[in-house]
Amino acid sequence: PPVESILVEVPDPEGPFGAKGLGEHVLIPTAAAILNAIHHASGARITKVPATPTRVLKAINEVCG
């Protein structure tokens, strides 16, 4: 079915210049992106956050032997 979007502009008195924060949405894929970057760079698969140096080195040592 057709969807009609309606833009409602109401300034937020708490935010800078009337803006409302939406930064939380970008945090959802961040951990997966970082862990995949570690995997692509090192071959080590990290499945638990935070990816501390100890966890990363342990995973790399498991891959490299």
- Centre a 10 Å sphere on the Cβ of residue 31 and count the other Cβ atoms it contains: 14
Q: What DSSP letter does each residue of 27-64 carry, written as one string?
A: GTTHHHHHHHHHHHHHS----SSS--HHHHHHHHHHHH
Whether 24 is a known active-site residue: answer yes
pLDDT reported for residue 5 = 92
- Centre a 10 Å sphere on the Cβ of residue 20 and count the other Cβ atoms it contains: 10
Domain count, the chain: 1
17 located within any domain: no
Q: Does the pLDDT at position 7 exceed 90?
A: no
Active-site residue, selected from the candidate residues 4, 9, 14, 24: 24
pLDDT, tens only, 9-55: 888 888 888 887 776 667 778 899 999 999 999 999 999 999 999 99
5 located within any domain: no
pLDDT reported for residue 61 = 96
Domain extent for 44: 26-64
